[in-house]
Copies of this chain bind each other. A is one copy, B any other.
Amino acid sequence: MNELARVVEALLFLSAEPVSLDRLADACESSEGEVVESLARLREHYAEGYRGVVLREVAGGFTLSTDPVAEHAARRLLAKPRTPPLTPAQAECLAIVAYLQPVSRPEIARVRGVASESAVGTLLERGMIEESGRSRFGAVLYRTTELFQKLFGLEALDSLPDVAQFDPSPGEEQELRERLLKAGEARSQS
């Protein structure tokens, strides 16, 4: 490993947040091209499946993390639970913010059909969403954070899958429609 690669490795080790290419280049007083080369070398060293630590590209930057192979032992050593799972309400609010951002609380409530204060509050507390200005009527708007990208292993926001893939299939849609109109009809005849 050359000196630049060693320095880049040390910076990623120290930094709590993913570090972008330009910040790495700036800190190392090198060109981005040189840093890219060093990262390639590091990537060889940290190739997944060989080491306990892996090099990852998330939230618009580079970072080191443990390989899941160590998860069981890490839980024993640190006595710290892994990221607690989301409740269904939190997951729905997060999905709405992730895909419709920036989005206000009333808009979230409209999609879910139910007020969503507590779930939104928890997501704010957990740092997965944050404020992003105000709507025309003064309502606070929300968007996802870098931590969200980090926790979900997303390189960037646009690496979320296309939301259309979550739509019910035309067959399911048809079925839903028929049931809406006919669910009661059968009952009224029986």
Task: Tell me which of B74, B77, B118, B137 contacts A127 (CB under 8 A).
Answer: B118
Q: A10 and B187: CB pair below 8 A?
A: no
The verdict on A19 contacting chain B, using a C-beta distance below 8 Å, is: yes
- Copies of the chain in the assembly: 2
A182 to B190, CA, bound (A): 42
The verdict on A136 contacting chain B, using a C-beta distance below 8 Å, is: no
The verdict on A40 contacting chain B, using a C-beta distance below 8 Å, is: no
The verdict on A23 contacting chain B, using a C-beta distance below 8 Å, is: yes
Given the interface contacts A6-B51, A8-B52, does A131 sit within 8 Å of B14 by beta carbon? no
A74 to B6, CA, bound (A): 12
A129 to B130, CA, bound (A): 20
Chain A, residues 92-116, CB within 8 Å of chain B (1/0): the string is 0000000000000000000001100
Chain A, residues 1-44, CB within 8 Å of chain B (1/0): the string is 10101111111011100010001101111000000000000000
The B-contacting residues of A in range 59-107, CB under 8 angstroms, are: 64, 66-67, 69-70, 73-74, 76-78, 80, 87-89
Chain A, residues 164-184, CB within 8 Å of chain B (1/0): the string is 000000000000000000000
Q: B77 and A27: CB pair below 8 A?
A: yes
The verdict on A154 contacting chain B, using a C-beta distance below 8 Å, is: no
Q: Shortest distance in angstroms between A42's beta carbon and chain B's nearest beta carbon?
A: 9
> Can you list 13 pairs linking A and B with CB atoms under 8 Å apart?
A6-B70, A9-B52, A11-B77, A13-B52, A14-B70, A14-B74, A26-B76, A26-B77, A27-B80, A28-B76, A29-B73, A87-B133, A88-B132
